[in-house]
Amino acid sequence: MTDTPLHLAVALDGAGWHPAAWRAAGARPGELLSAAYWAGLVAEAERGLLDYVTFEDALGLQSAALHRPDDRTDQVRGSLDAVLLAAHLAPLTTRIGLVPTTNVTHTEPFHVGIGIATLDHASAGRAGWRPQISSRAADARHFGRRPTPQLTDDDLTGPESIAARLSPLFAEGAEVVEAVRRLWDSWEDDAEIRDVATGRFLDRDKVHHIDFRGTNFSVKGPSITPRSPQGAPPVVSLAHASVPYRFAALSSDVVHLTPHDRAGASAVLAEVGAAVERTGRDVRDRPLLRFADLLVLLDEEPGAAARRRARLDESAGTGLASDAAIFTGTPGDLADLLLDWRDAGLDGFRLRPAVLPHDLTAITRGLVPELQRRGAFRTAYGATTLRGHLGLARPAGRYANTDAG
Tens digit of pLDDT for each residue in 354-372?
999 999 999 999 999 999 9
In-domain check, residue 2: no
- Which structural domain, as residue segments, surrounds residue 304? 10-311+326-390
CA dist., res. 96 & res. 318, Å (int) = 35
In-domain check, residue 21: yes
Q: How confident is the model at residue 156 (pLDDT cuts 50, 70, 90)?
A: confident
In-domain check, residue 402: no
- Report how far apart, in Å, the C-alpha atoms of 105 and of each of 22, 137, 236 are: 30, 11, 16
Specify the number of domains making up the chain: 1
Please report, for the domain that includes residue 31, its CATH number.
3.20.20.30
How much is the average pLDDT of 169-198?
Answer: 96
Mean pLDDT for all residues in the chain: 95
In-domain check, residue 317: no
The 10s digit of each residue's pLDDT in 214-248 is: 999 999 999 999 999 999 999 999 999 999 999 99
Lowest mean pLDDT among 112-121, 140-149, 161-170, 279-288: 140-149
Q: pTM of the full predicted structure?
A: 0.96
In-domain check, residue 396: no
In DSSP notation, 126-188 reads -B-BEEE----GGGGGGT-S-------GGGGG-HHHHHHHTHHHHHHHHHHHHHHHHHHHSB-
Instruction: With a cut of 60, say whether residue 1 has pLDDT above it.
Output: no
Selection from 76, 75, 71, 69 nearest residue 140 by Cα:
69
pLDDT value at residue 2: 47
Q: How far is it between the farthest Cα atoms of the chain?
A: 71
Per the DSSP assignment, residues forming a β-bridge with 255 are 237, 290
